[in-house]
């Protein structure tokens, strides 16, 4: 089996364009731009694909870092 490749410098849909367009149409039609069934489905599929018990979609890399640090118990240094 050959793994799908994604160009680092120019990520764009190629053979998956119809699926991407369909997903965008579902989101726009539903009005769920934040959270909602598409995000929930993505989180479940990502967790399954990565072998993790759960996954959380976030809006920014900063959110991802903040959640990871909290999950590890890393916080502000107190003196």
> Would you place residue 8 in the very low, low, confident or very high pLDDT band (cuts 50, 70, 90)?
low
- Residue 11 inside a domain? The answer is no
CB-CB neighbours of 40 under 10 Å: 12
- Residue 48 inside a domain? The answer is yes
> Would you place residue 66 in the very low, low, confident or very high pLDDT band (cuts 50, 70, 90)?
very high
- Residue 44 inside a domain? The answer is yes
Residue pLDDT, tens place only, 22-63: 989 999 999 988 889 999 999 999 999 999 999 999 989 999
Q: Which residue has the higher pLDDT, 15 or 4?
A: 15
Residue-number span of the structural domain to which 39 is assigned: 17-71
- Residue 25 inside a domain? The answer is yes
Q: Per the structure, how many domains does the chain have?
A: 1
Angle at 31 between CA 40 and CA 25, to 5 degrees: 80
- Residue 23 inside a domain? The answer is yes
């Amino acid at each position: 089996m050959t793994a799908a490749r994604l160009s680092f410098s120019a990520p764009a849909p190629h053979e998956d364009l119809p699926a991407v367009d369909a997903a965008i149409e579902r989101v726009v039609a539903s009005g769920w731009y934040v959270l909602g069934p598409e995000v929930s489905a993505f989180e479940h599929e990502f967790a399954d694909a990565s072998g993790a018990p759960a996954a959380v979609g976030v809006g920014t890399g900063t959110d991802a870092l903040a959640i990871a640090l909290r999950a590890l118990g890393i916080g502000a240094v107190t003196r």
